[in-house]
Amino acid sequence: SPAVVYIEIQGKNPFTGGRAPTSNGSGFIVREDGLVVTNAHVVANKRFVKVRLQDGRLLDGAVVLVDQAADIAAVKILNCNTTLKTVKLGNSSTLRPGEWVVAMGGPLSLSNTITAGVISSVQRGSRELGLRHNDMDYIQTDAAINFGNSGGPLVNLDGEVIGVNTMKVTTGISFAIPIDKVKEFLKSVEEKEKAQKGWFGRGQVAPPAPPKRRYLGVTMVTLTPNIIMELQERRTDFPDVRAGVLVHRIIVGSPAYSAGIRPGDVITSINGR
């Protein structure tokens, strides 16, 4: 789909001093002027965001708004000068388990990649996954969602986006943010854009950004008895544990990354506790 984009995060190359790709993700265009929806963990706190279109153009992107709790972000494509194709947003409230879906994006830097699967659950609560920073039901699917696929659209057989690919626990267990939640987020984006136009129209400066907070740079899933049982059924190498957390993703260069923590690690205690 021409409305699915590849997002490249660039950072300073320690050897040459220039910019070099450090991470990537996917996204999809929701407005003809170049507004893109993706995951917050793909672009949050990133200075240099690039958006690659289906025609090969690599353009600058600016982060418009981030909802860390819901893991949703909006990025505006800059200096495009053309009308862009957009996706059609569906309704996640009408989804049923067993429906076929397609996950689109650029996993492992492979653009224009799609994987198919079915919806396993439409009410996988965040508390059930151990995600205590939000209160949201996720879409569970067995469609493959891999690194780089985050932020891409989950599409039904009518070609409508019904979710945002966000998290893979193991093969056959992946999760997406319901599109109805994204629609609420997009209303906040419009309100922010209107507010900014009002500020600058009166010759005033925008309110200062909130101070940055300290962070570990790790996202984890609490290993509940149900999740442990499902993981052990799907993975013969999964450790025999009764509790703990499964490391889902790590931000490169973060304190957690520097400490040697990696995606897939299972943590059962810290300093003997």
SS3 assignment, position 234: helix
Whether 71 is catalytic is: yes
Provide the 3-class DSSP secondary structure of residue 190.
helix
41 catalytic residue (yes or no): yes
Q: Is 123:67 a contact under the CB 8 Å cutoff?
A: no
Check if the beta carbon of residue 206 is closer than 8 Å to that of residue 192. Answer: no
Which DSSP string do the residues of 103-134 spell out, in sequence order?
A: EEE-GGG--SEEEEEEEEEEEEETTTTT-TT-
Distance, CA of 39 to CA of 96 (rounded, Å): 24
Closest among 65, 71, 223, 63 to 133, alpha carbons compared:
71
Q: How far is CA 56 from CA 11, 53, 61, 146, in A?
A: 21, 5, 15, 22
- Report which secondary-structure segment, H or E, holds 140: strand 137-141
Catalytic residue among 67, 71, 92, 248, which? 71
* Cβ within 8 Å of residue 255, ≥6 positions away: 215, 216, 217
Assign 232 to helix, strand or coil: helix
Choose the catalytic residue: 41, 67, 174, 248: 41
Question: What is the radius of gyration, based on Cα positions, of the chain?
Answer: 19
Which residues are part of the catalytic machinery? Answer: 41, 71, 150
